[in-house]
Chain A
Amino acid sequence: QITLKESGPTLVKPTQTLTLNCTVSGFSLSTSGVAVGWIRQPPGKALEWLALIYWDDDKRYSPSLRSRLTIAKDTSKNLVVLTMSNMDPGDTATYYCAHLPLVPGAASYDAFDIWGQGTMVTVSS
């Protein structure tokens, strides 16, 4: 059974760097055809895709946030880490990580099929 769980600070100050962890189980981050993404959702607003890391360590970022984001993985710890620099109150949101299967022909191909519960981050001084 695949599960993901986000963790990190609930409160950060403006200009600080946010570091979020996504601990995964039920699959390996090095298995071919696997990716993990980060998505956020400000209170009462829509979902926004942030970043994606593939099994081969390839990475993709939202064009509008690229300069502030870094995604990385530690396969031995089953961990995907997202850092976002220069935090602003507008970055207040629930941050989700999600599993993305990329085996052609497999169920849920190239869609976020399993999501973590999310972690709420508030940016305030």
Chain B
Amino acid sequence: EIVLTQSPDTLSVSLGEGATLSCRASQSVSITYLAWYQQKVGQAPRLLIYGGSRRAPGITDRFSGSGSGTDFTLTIARVEPDDSAVYYCQQYAHDGRTFGQGTKVEIK
């Protein structure tokens, strides 16, 4: 089973600044099968990025995804108060789908 490790566990960002979230896989993952989700307190997750870098419908271009192989990144530009949430990466491989442990983004 592929393990996804996200870093940092918590990221404190000032309003208007950028944020970089990391997701590292224990084995190589096809970018086609790497997704990012946002989960706010008390809510279901929301898909942000699929295929490693493609924004889901309705997602602002302040969110962008990149990476390849075992290292993937979610970047949030010009952080806003509404971006306060936990962010999860998720992969699909032949043996199933796994999520990372999440990165909590706090807004200063």
Contacts and interface: CB of A to CB of B under 8 A. Distances in A.
Interface of A: 37, 39, 46-49, 52, 60-64, 96, 107-113, 115-118
B56 A108 contact: yes
B99 A110 contact: no
A112 B45 contact: yes
B64 to A, nearest CB: 16
Contacts, number: 66
22 contacts: A46-B101, A47-B37, A47-B39, A47-B102, A49-B99, A63-B96, A96-B44, A107-B57, A108-B57, A109-B32, A110-B32, A110-B92, A111-B50, A111-B51, A111-B56, A111-B90, A112-B35, A112-B47, A113-B47, A116-B44, A117-B44, A118-B44
Given A64-B1, A96-B44, A110 B95 contact: no
Given A116-B44, A118-B44, A109 B51 contact: yes
